[in-house]
Amino acid sequence: MTERRRVLIQGAGAVAAAAGALLSGTGAEVRAASRRDGVILTAVAPDGAVTHVPVVDYAQVEAGEVRGSGAPGGVDLLVLTSAPGELAPEIATALAAAEPAAIGVTSPVIGDAAIAQRMFPGAEVARLAPGLLSFATSRGTETRAEYWVPPLAPAFAAVAVDGAPDLPRRLAADYPKVVGRTPAKAADAVGVLMVPYAAELAVVGGDWPTFLRRLRRPGRAMAEAMRADIGLPVFAPPPIVVRAVLRQVDRTVPFDFPKFAGNHFVRHAEQSLRILDAWRAMTPRVTPALDSLREDLAAVL
């Protein structure tokens, strides 16, 4: 009998709920780790199916209780839903005690995968770029989250980093239909397309109507970032085109997309700021839109 793969998800938020539900569907034994006692983690699929993801505290992780029923070795996959550099030392210590064989870093910030490699030298590391949307409808003792994965897309796109070129292929094979492989440049391009708009939305405090009137600057910032990060000389998309795309997304996503986007990107404004700084450091070219966006975002943090 084949032993079930063991997955540990760091954190007990909306992304952890969705990831837990989806990875459980591949037959893996999944647990989420929280610093809070008595947390209930619930994921709701678009069809209404409900999954309760088991939650353990970090003391249990450090004691080795996430390894299953006396099974040898550590967890097969550790999914970091927080930036690795932001983990408290005691949490990093507990996670290391789980002896993960592989680590998936969901943070899109440039350099965060390398931080994970230094923190967990015995593990292989890949970036796991989220392709899903997850929206917490309640927080507190129970975190309840709705999630949606675009049709024909994986929930997470695995991207190889130095030292583990074959890991994305193995993750896609171990967790089919949940993890897919994608070239690094493709994943980077998606981030370049999205983050300037996420930053602009955070600047206006998540106010969707105001954001829709301020699409010119993030479009220009996106074009500057595309040249800096991907090396492609693209033009800023006209605001009318961006509005049309956003309207289509709002019609497609099965929950309140403007509310989700406002909440999500305001909460992750510091992450967006780190990405803007990384892009500006990549190029000697003048980047007036990135500079302006970065200045305004820093002012609201």
Q: What is the pLDDT of residue 69?
A: 47
Which residues form the domain of 77? 6-182
Under 8 Å between Cβ of 225 and 195: yes
In a domain? residue 17: yes
Q: What is the pLDDT of residue 73?
A: 65
In a domain? residue 164: yes
Does residue 155 sit in the same domain as residue 193? no
Among 155, 182, 209, the domain-final residue is 182
Q: Which of 135, 106, 74, 121 is nearest to 10 (CA)?
A: 106
Q: Residue 133 gets which letter from DSSP? A: E
Per-position b or e across 99-136, b if 16+ CB within 10 A of its CB? bbbbbbbbbbbbebbbbbbebbeebbbbbbbbbbbbbb
Q: What is the pLDDT of residue 38?
A: 85
Q: How many domains does the chain have?
A: 2
Does residue 228 sit in the same domain as residue 155? no
Does residue 172 sit in the same domain as residue 226? no
Does residue 158 sit in the same domain as residue 78? yes
Does residue 91 sit in the same domain as residue 236? no
Among 154, 182, 210, the domain-final residue is 182
Q: What is the pLDDT of residue 140?
A: 80
Q: What is the pLDDT of residue 2?
A: 58
Does residue 220 sit in the same domain as residue 233? yes
Q: What is the pLDDT of residue 64?
A: 83
In a domain? residue 165: yes
Q: What is the pLDDT of residue 68?
A: 53
Domain containing 122 — which CATH number?
A: 3.40.50.720
Does residue 160 sit in the same domain as residue 284? no
Does residue 138 sit in the same domain as residue 82? yes
Q: Which amino acid is at 264?
A: H
In a domain? residue 1: no
Per-residue tens of pLDDT for the chain, all 301 residues: 457 899 999 999 999 999 999 999 999 999 999 988 788 999 999 999 999 999 999 999 998 887 654 445 689 999 999 999 999 999 999 999 999 999 999 999 989 999 999 999 999 999 999 999 999 988 888 899 999 999 989 999 999 999 999 999 999 999 999 999 999 899 999 999 999 999 999 999 999 999 999 999 999 999 999 999 989 899 999 999 999 999 999 999 999 999 999 999 999 999 999 999 999 999 999 999 999 999 999 999 9
pLDDT tens for residues 230-271?
898 999 999 999 999 999 999 999 999 999 999 999 999 999
